[in-house]
Amino acid sequence: MSYTSYPPTVLVLAGNDPTGGAGLCADTQTLTAFSCHTAPVITCVTVQNTENVQQLYPLSAEQVYQQAKTVLEDMPIAAIKIGLLGSADIIHAVIQLLEEYPSIPVVLDPILAAGGGKEMANDEIQHLILKKLLPHVFITTPNSEEAHRLTLPDYTQDEVAHVMLETGCDYVCITGSHDKDSSIINRLYHAEHETQAWTWSRLQDEYHGSGCTFAAGVAGVLAQGHSVEHAVYHAQAFTWQSLYRGSQVGAGQSLPNRITHPYEHYANLAI
């Protein structure tokens, strides 16, 4: 069987969000826009709406591991995107998988809390993400609050980024969506390269699934074989436009609109 005409496949490990705004649905919509196929691995079942998460039900570590391992043994995987993990046991299982497949680039969106404030990661999970998972990650995409929670709250953003880089993670992209500035500034850090920054106008609404969209976009461009700089730029552009076209469908945060506008140039990525 030939895979030459089939889109690159991204293995996604994330929670299921029944609103479709975040989680596996958001990842799948985004990766489709970037001309990728999604192989979805459920880590957690959530009870949530656009206002907040009410309940979190992590699967067993063995269930998560076997879902992913079965796909990895069967299909060529161009990139791995990790979102909500939900338990320390699941993190250990994911680390085992990444150790078995070290050549696949990994994008980590370290989800620590829901947009409505529900905690999704205790101290043990945060410690494991920083000390054990990040060494296996190619690029992580925390917002500024997540980056400080994973390290130390009184560090500068540059210091926070370098703490994460020192774990062995190749790139850190800290997004400014949770800052109080009038514009959003996203910064890409690498231990040996000059920091790059992109500025985007801040939209008025609050959005459910923006971080998932951005990280999945990065994974999609990397899966196409492009550079991390291309990936970060195009993922930002796609995310911003999805938010700009989003709507407050429910009673809480607005949902990004990732499906009703064309993104042909993202498939070509010719900039």
Can you give the pTM of this predicted structure? 0.94
Q: What is the pLDDT of residue 216?
A: 98
DSSP string, the chain: ---TTSPPEEEEEEEE-TTSSSHHHHHHHHHHHTT-EEEEEEEEEEEE-SS-EEEEEEPPHHHHHHHHHHHHTTS--SEEEE----SHHHHHHHHHHHHHSTTS-EEE----B-TTS-B---HHHHHHIIIIIGGG-SEE--BHHHHHHHS-TTS-HHHHHHHHHTTT-SEEEEB-TTS-SSEEEEEEEESSS--EEEEEEPPSS-BSSHHHHHHHHHHHHHHTT--HHHHHHHHHHHHHHHHHT-B--SSSSBBP--SSS--HHHHH---
Q: What is the pLDDT of residue 1?
A: 45
Q: What is the pLDDT of residue 261?
A: 62
Write down the domain spans for the chain: 9-244
Q: What is the pLDDT of residue 4?
A: 59
User: What is 9-244's CATH number?
Assistant: 3.40.1190.20
Long-range contacts of 17-20 (CB under 8 A, 24+ apart): 17/46, 17/48, 17/209, 18/46, 18/47, 18/48, 18/49, 19/48, 19/49, 19/50, 19/208, 19/249, 19/250, 19/255, 20/255
Q: What is the pLDDT of residue 271?
A: 36
Q: What is the pLDDT of residue 267?
A: 46
User: What is the residue-level pLDDT of the chain in tens, covering all 271 positions?
Assistant: 455 589 999 999 999 999 999 999 999 999 999 999 999 999 999 999 999 899 999 999 999 999 999 999 999 999 999 999 999 999 999 999 999 999 999 999 999 988 778 888 899 999 999 999 999 999 999 999 999 999 988 899 999 999 999 999 999 999 987 777 789 999 999 999 899 999 999 998 899 999 999 999 999 999 999 999 999 999 999 999 999 999 999 999 999 999 866 555 554 544 3
